[in-house]
Amino acid sequence: MDYALLLANFATTDAQPSWSQQRLLHECLRAAIRSGTLHAGCRLLATRQLAAELGMARNTILYAFEQLATEGFVVTDRRGTFVAHLNVAPPQRAGAGTLGHPGLSARAACALPPSDPATMSAFAPGVPSLDDFPIAIWRRLLDRAWRALAASQLNYGDPAGEPALRSAIADHLRAARGVLCEPSQVFITDGTQNALDLCSRSLADAGDVVWIENPGYRGALTAFRNAELRVVAIDVDEHGLAPSAADWRDHPPKLIYVTPSHQYPFGGVLSVCRRLALIEQAKAVGALIIEDDYDSEFRYDGPPLSAMQGLAPNAPVLYLGTFSKTMFPALRIGFMVVPPSLATPLAQYVARSAPRGRAADQLALAEFLRTGQFATHLRRMRRLYRQRRDALGAAVERHFGASATLCGSSAGIHLALVLGAEVPDARVSAAALEQGMIVNALSSHAIGPAQAARNGFVLGYAQVPASAMDASVRQLAALVQQYRQKAAPL
Ligand SMILES: Cc1ncc(COP(=O)(O)O)c(C=O)c1O
């Protein structure tokens, strides 16, 4: 492959004059991969050689490769950097459909997970205890809402959601999460995934830089990739997002996605100092922070930290919440709290792009909140999940001993079980699935190769009764033992 010629052709036909060399190279290689000019499995020239061939700094090449890896176009291992098997047809053959996934766009095929496990099983992350949801109360509220519904409410609804629900959510967030908001800033969504899609499409343009935590939440990555944003993976440490001065200088973001109250998947809590610093720096570069507060209603050791959104007046923060963990995922109701200046333009955008409906569900939920039944349910679930978390901690100690570390167990409904590098967590995860147990590999949450992934598992414990915890953990420990790579002989 003549990379210099490839780049020269791309520069004259497709590039924009304002692009940096890094952007030019990244876009050029991405286009070559998409068109099939660089085919799946093909090894890219080593960064040092490519730098010499193109007359560019090696760092420029490294950043472009890292970006491609983050987006899933290349994979890197000890042997070098290879074009990923995207299972997509090159665009010129698009009429034939996408290879391996007929009818899917390349964008959609890239977003497909390697497997699609069910979520009703021991340790499935993010699923609350469905058996403990008060279905009878919910059915009554729904019934009442439907009976009170006027025919006019069968029409398209308010694009931002039912006023009664927006108001009830604003009251709850002010009291429970320290969020500064008026009902006019609250937008009802079909859950956080829908909110992330909306944010990606309405608050950034294709090619704009979005920061994502690494390791991080793949649902956010999917939304950002779908909107063709430039995803930059920022490493987290035990306290959460930890951007360096170089990150701010070299990749100033338009959007920053962060899970400050319970980093996903490691569970770090971003300290107040870090939160304030992030807000200040975001203001300085004109970035908007997307705070995903997905499970902070469950906090077991001490009072919760308030949301970032309410930490400083006029903080450039858009706050996301969901009822998937506090109620049930199939409800598909979440919300965003947008800065006041965005409320009107976003309402206009949503009205055109995502008409709302399901008034009865929203009104029943407003009633659930307003009458205090939501708070009662949360209190009950907090007690139950604390018991389950404690049982999990004790079982891990019994069956893994000092070989495992638990992270992020002070909040939420999952924790991270961190194991040594000798545990091939992805293989154990696949083997566990065959035995009917969902344990997502920690290494699968790495976003690009920027950080050596830690090995271990994300363990969702909300659905596992305390009495069943020991047996499930014993089963997992036996599998880990079976797959643990033997130390090489000296
Ligand atoms: C980090 C994070 N954000 C948000 C969600 C919830 O998304 P949704 O409201 O789309 O169900 C999850 C679900 O697992 C999650 O892990």
Give the pLDDT confidence of 189-225 residue by residue, as tens digits.
999 999 999 999 999 999 999 999 999 999 999 999 9
Distance 250 CA to ligand 1 centre (A): 30
Backbone angles phi, psi at 474, to 5 degrees: -60, -40
Q: What is the CA radius of gyration of the chain?
A: 24
- DSSP lists the bridge partners of residue 258 as 291
pLDDT given at position 92:
42
Question: How many Å lie between the centroid of ligand 1 and the Cα of residue 275?
Answer: 21
- Which ligand 1 atom lies nearest to the CA of residue 194? 10
- The predicted model gives 22-29 an average pLDDT of 89
308 near 291, Cβ under 8 Å?
Answer: yes
Give the pLDDT score at 98.
45
pLDDT confidence tier of residue 14, bands split at 50, 70 and 90: confident
Share of the chain above pLDDT 70, in %: 91
Compare 71 and 443 and report the one with higher pLDDT. Answer: 443
Q: How confident is the model at residue 102 (pLDDT cuts 50, 70, 90)?
A: low
More confident call, 77 vs 442? 442
Most ligand 1 atoms within 8 A of CB, residue of 213, 318, 324, 333 to mutate: 324
Look at the alpha carbons of 416, 421, 423, 429 in this order and tell me if their dihedral is positive or negative: positive
Centroid of ligand 1 to alpha carbon of 460 (angstroms) = 13
What pLDDT was estimated at residue 9? 82
Q: CA–CA separation, 100 vs 453, rounded Å?
A: 29
- Split at pLDDT 50, 70, 90, the class of 300 is very high
Report the SS3 class of residue 74.
strand
Helices (H) and strands (E) in the chain — how many of each?
16, 14
Q: Residue of the nearest CA to atom 14 in ligand 1?
A: 126
Would you give the DSSP letter of residue 444?
Answer: G
Q: How far is the CA of 192 from the centre of ligand 1 (A)?
A: 6
Question: Mean pLDDT of all residues in the chain?
Answer: 89
Ligand 1 atom with the smallest distance to the CA of 322 is 9
pLDDT at residue 97 above 50? no
Rounded distance from Cα 321 to ligand 1 centre (Å): 9
> Which of 127, 217, 221, 458 is the best mutation target for the ligand 1 pocket, counting ligand atoms within 8 Å of the beta carbon and taking the most?
217
What is the predicted pLDDT for the residue at 198?
Answer: 96
Confidence class for position 5, pLDDT limits 50, 70, 90: confident
Express each pLDDT in 116-151 by its tens digit.
545 557 899 989 999 999 999 999 999 999 999 999
- Residues having CB within 6 Å of any atom of ligand 1: 126, 191-193, 217, 219, 259, 264, 292, 294, 322, 324, 329, 334
Is residue 290 classed as helix, strand or coil in its secondary structure? strand
Distance from the CA of 125 to the center of ligand 1, in angstroms?
A: 10
Q: Is the pLDDT of residue 115 over 60?
A: no
Q: How far is CA 237 from CA 244, 271, 358, 393, in A?
A: 12, 12, 41, 22
Q: pLDDT of 143-188, one tens digit each?
A: 999 999 999 999 999 999 999 999 999 999 999 999 999 999 999 9
At residue 1 the predicted structure's pLDDT band, cuts being 50, 70 and 90, is: confident
The span from the CA of 319 to the CA of 310, in Å, is 10
**Cα 234 from chain centroid?**
13
State the closest ligand 1 atom to the C-alpha of 127, by its place in the atom list counted from 1: 14
Q: What per-residue confidence (pLDDT) applies to 120?
A: 59
**Sign of the alpha-carbon dihedral angle for 277, 174, 411, 420:** negative
**Residue 88 binned pLDDT confidence (cut-offs 50, 70, 90):** very low
Alpha carbon of 155 to ligand 1 centroid (Å): 29
Give the mean model confidence (pLDDT) for residues 91-120. 57
As a dihedral over the C-alpha atoms of residue 395, residue 396, residue 399, residue 400, rounded to 10 degrees, the angle is -170
Which tokens go with 251? 């990749």
Q: Atom 15 in ligand 1: which residue has the minimum CA distance?
A: 294
Report which ligand 1 atom has the smallest distance to the Cα of 324: 11
Residue 292 above 90 pLDDT? Answer: yes
pLDDT in tens, 466-475: 999 999 999 9
Residue to substitute in 130, 187, 192 for testing ligand 1 pocket (most ligand atoms within 8 angstroms of CB): 192
From 338, 73, 17, 11, select the one nearest 228 (Cα to Cα). Answer: 73
Please, are residues 210 and 200 in contact by the beta-carbon 8 Å criterion?
yes
Whether pLDDT at 374 is above 50:
yes
How many other CB atoms sit within 10 Å of the CB of residue 346?
22
Query: Concatenated DSSP letters for 393-439?
Result: HHHHHHHHGGG-EEESTTBSSEEEEEE-TTS-HHHHHHHHHHTT---
For residues 478 and 422, what is the distance between their CA atoms, to the nearest angstrom?
15
Q: Which residue has the higher pLDDT, 117 or 484?
A: 484
CA of 36 to the centre of ligand 1 (A): 34
Dist. CA 37 → ligand 1 center (Å):
37
Q: Which residues of 430-443 are buried (b: 16+ CB within 10 A; e: fewer)?
A: bbbbeeebbbbbbb
Distance 191 CA to ligand 1 centre (A): 8
Q: What is the pLDDT of residue 99?
A: 47
- The pLDDT assigned to 186 comes to 98
Predicted local confidence at residue 119, as pLDDT: 57
Inform me whether the pLDDT recorded for 83 exceeds 90. Answer: no
Q: Which residue's CA is the nearest one to ligand 1's atom 7?
A: 192
Q: Measuring CA to CA, which residue among 320, 333, 339 is closest to residue 374?
A: 333
pLDDT score, position 22: 86
